[in-house]
Amino acid sequence: MGMSVTISAAAEADAEQILKLQYLCYQSEAELYGDYSIEPLTQGLDSIKAELTTGTVLVARLGDEVVASVRGTVDPDGTARIGKLIVHPRMQRHGLGGRLLDAVEERLGAGGAAKSFQLFTGHRSEQNLQLYRKHGYAPVRTDRVSERLTQVTLAKDVDTRTFVTSA
């Protein structure tokens, strides 16, 4: 290919690509749990545009194509909530998810805003659980969402890395 993947803040112009990628990426999760009514598959474009203005949204691009994305916010108590980490199926298993996770942690941790990080996934989502454990997350809670789905919440404290504020 000759192109490298770049990670940057998402712009409003990226919203439609993020929505399409999210729909593609969550098909396997919906199949795994037998539930195609999960929020990432029913979320609308206006909702994604709103997230772009209220939180941190990063994208990974290969040329002009958005091939991965992640979102995060920091609660008033300092808990950084990370969600919807998605990587195009053809780009999975090459470290891109880990790079995005590191990037959103750095962005949310800049300036000392985040005291801890938290995210969640389904109990059958082994690749997700492996990625999160590899990056220092540990299960802190499980919630039964339905007969087929138990949500696993994982967390970690902000480590001793020095976060720098980036534009």
Cβ-Cβ contacts under 8 Å for 95 (sequence gap 6 or more): none
Token pair for 117: 């990080």
What's the pTM?
Answer: 0.90
Q: What is the pLDDT of residue 156?
A: 96
> 17 lies in a domain?
yes
> 66 lies in a domain?
yes
CATH number of 94's domain? 3.40.630.30
pLDDT digits (tens, 9 = 90+) for 99-151: 999 999 999 998 888 999 999 999 999 999 999 999 999 999 999 988 888 99
pLDDT digits (tens, 9 = 90+) for 55-91: 999 999 999 999 999 999 999 999 999 999 999 999 9
DSSP secondary-structure letter at 127?
A: H
Q: Please name the helix (run of DSSP H) or strand (run of DSSP E) that holds residue 107, with its range, or none.
A: helix 96-109
Is 96 in contact with 109 (CB distance < 8 Å)? no
Domain that holds residue 63: 5-157
CA distance 101 to 133: 12
> 166 lies in a domain?
no
CA distance 62 to 132: 24
> Within 13 A of 49's CA, how many CA atoms are on the CB side?
6
* Count of domains for the chain: 1
